[in-house]
Amino acid sequence: MATKTAENFKCPKCGSGRTKPLSIAIAGGTRRRNTVGISRRSMWGSTSTYKSDLIAGLPQRPSNGGAYFLMFLGGCGLLLALFVASNEKGAEGFAAGVGVVSLLLLVGGIGAKKRPDLLATAQASWDKRWMCARCGHQWET
Ligand SMILES: [Zn+2]
């Protein structure tokens, strides 16, 4: 695999030599920009990525990042619910609401988390994916 370069693969669909691994296509077509958003309720900072339409349509490398993020949000929410329930009188309804939503996030995150072996398999197959810059065809080498 390490000895193969872009020139070694021709698109199996259209025969174009303008092919590259998905990982390189995405890394080369993605720009990061830090933004700060403000709404009436909160202010947040985020890292947005801007991609070309072609790159945006490509599958991202499988990861458990989203699942861990959900679990993290759920954990924080539960702490907030506990905090509100024990410190604010008359806010039990609010605390219960936050608690239920947080629990759903936590369970959702655990459910979305891929098993390590399945994740490794999905990542390995993603790493082998190539795409054609001419017709957009994707295949695994
Ligand atoms: Zn092609």
Per-residue pLDDT band for 2 (boundaries 50, 70, 90) equals very low
Residue 9 and residue 130 in contact, taking contact as beta carbons nearer than 8 Å: yes
Please say if the pLDDT value at position 70 is more than 70: yes
CA-CA distances (angstroms) from residue 72 to 67, 85, 93, 132? 9, 20, 23, 37
* pLDDT one-digit tens code per residue, 93-112: 999 999 999 999 999 999 99
Residue 130 and residue 141 in contact, taking contact as beta carbons nearer than 8 Å: yes
Q: What's the rounded mean pLDDT across residues 9-27?
A: 89
Query: Measured in angstroms, how far is the CA atom of residue 20 from the centroid of ligand 1?
Result: 11
Query: Measured in angstroms, how far is the CA atom of residue 124 from the centroid of ligand 1?
Result: 22
* pLDDT one-digit tens code per residue, 30-56: 666 666 666 666 666 665 555 566 677
**Dihedral of alpha carbons 10, 12, 18, 22, sign:** negative
Query: Measured in angstroms, how far is the CA atom of residue 56 from the centroid of ligand 1?
Result: 18
Crossing angle (nearest 10°) for helices 65-87 and 92-112: 160
Query: Measured in angstroms, how far is the CA atom of residue 49 from the centroid of ligand 1?
Result: 26
